[in-house]
Structures are given as C-alpha cells and as structure tokens.
C-alpha cells in the first residue's frame, strides 16, 4: 500500500493541470512501477504555495491532456491523480534522472524549475467539462472552452 492511500486528501482545493497527451500513458506505466511519476514545470510558485497550504495531505489533481491530435471542441479533463509533493530540478532534470519521469519525456527541453509528483495516475471513466471547475478564490467557474496552459489551484464542484 503506498503512502497516498493512507493520507487523507485535502478538501480545501484541487489542482487542474495540463500534461501533454503523449506523456500520460507512459506516465501511468511509471506510476504503477515506481509508485509515483513526476511532471516538470517552471511554475514553482503554485507548488510551493500548495505545499504550505495542504498540511501534508495529498491533493486531488485533474489533468487536461494537452497537445492532443484529435481534441474536442469543448475541453475536458480526462485524467486524475493525487499530488504528493514536488522536488527542485537539477539543471532542468529530475534529481533521480528518468526514474520517475515518463519515458516519452526523455527528449524534452531541460527547462523545468521543479517536478511535481503524483501517485494513483489513471484515466477518468467519464471525462469532466472544464466548466465543473473554478479558479481558487474565484466566484465563477471556468468558461466551457477554457484551456489550462499551466497548473492552477481550483475548486471542484
């Protein structure tokens, strides 16, 4: 049993994040084999804030598969995971090399400031409309055709 099944998830907020579709299947394999998978980003501020506010709880992550070949006119969240923390990069690379990275990311540009790590990565049985979410601290939900371009703190309803 991995750590995420023991720790409770915070109900105060969630994460909405884009991840290139090409990485998701490969990432699921890594997550199953290693217990977690890491995605790179330059958006370190949001993950530092998350780690301060989550009180060591896991955070539910809703993933929009970006850079899709056959994307829907109405963007949908098609994957979910549990955020367990982040690590600083070393010259744009994950500190453990490719151990926790999707194999498809091997040739990505080495420009990540941090790597956010998740467990329990899996596709959703029923995709969710982006309009089911609203930005943290916002009153209105996202527009139905909103496409996330970076990780965001959100409320899910």
pLDDT recorded at residue 71: 62
Q: Give the residue among 93, 97, 124, 98 at the shortest CA–CA distance from 109.
A: 93
pTM of the predicted protein model: 0.88
**Residue 4: pLDDT band by 50, 70, 90 thresholds?**
very low
Instruction: Check: CB of residue 76 under 8 Å from CB of residue 127.
Output: yes
Query: Torsion-angle region of residue 149: left (phi > 0), alpha (psi -120 to 50) or beta?
Result: alpha
pLDDT recorded at residue 6: 53
Domain residue spans of the chain:
14-155
- How far is the C-alpha of 18 from the C-alpha of 63, rounded, in Å? 6
Pairing of strands 114-129, 133-135: unpaired
Question: 67 versus 59: which is more confidently predicted?
Answer: 59
pLDDT recorded at residue 5: 47
In this predicted model, what pLDDT tens digit does every residue of 39-58 receive, in sequence order?
A: 999 999 999 999 998 888 89
- How far is the C-alpha of 86 from the C-alpha of 44, rounded, in Å? 9
CATH topology of domain 14-155: 2.30.130
> Which stretch of 8-22, 42-56, 66-80, 85-99 has the lowest confidence by average pLDDT?
66-80
Percent of the chain at pLDDT > 90 equals 61
């Amino acid at each position: 049993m991995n750590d995420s099944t023991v720790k409770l998830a915070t109900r105060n907020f969630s994460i909405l994040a884009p991840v290139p579709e090409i990485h998701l299947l490969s990432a699921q394999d890594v997550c199953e084999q290693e217990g977690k998978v890491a995605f790179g980003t330059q958006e370190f501020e949001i993950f530092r804030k998350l780690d301060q506010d989550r009180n060591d709880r896991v955070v539910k992550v809703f993933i929009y598969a970006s850079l899709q070949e056959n994307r829907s006119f109405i963007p949908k969240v098609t994957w979910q995971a549990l955020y367990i923390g982040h690590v600083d990069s070393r010259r744009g690379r994950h500190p453990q090399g490719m151990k926790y990275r999707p194999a498809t990311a091997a040739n990505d540009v080495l420009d990540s400031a941090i790597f956010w790590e998740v467990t329990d990565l899996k596709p959703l049985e029923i995709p969710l409309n982006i309009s089911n979410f609203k930005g943290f601290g916002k009153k209105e939900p996202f527009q139905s055709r909103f496409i996330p371009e970076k990780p965001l703190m959100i409320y899910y309803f």
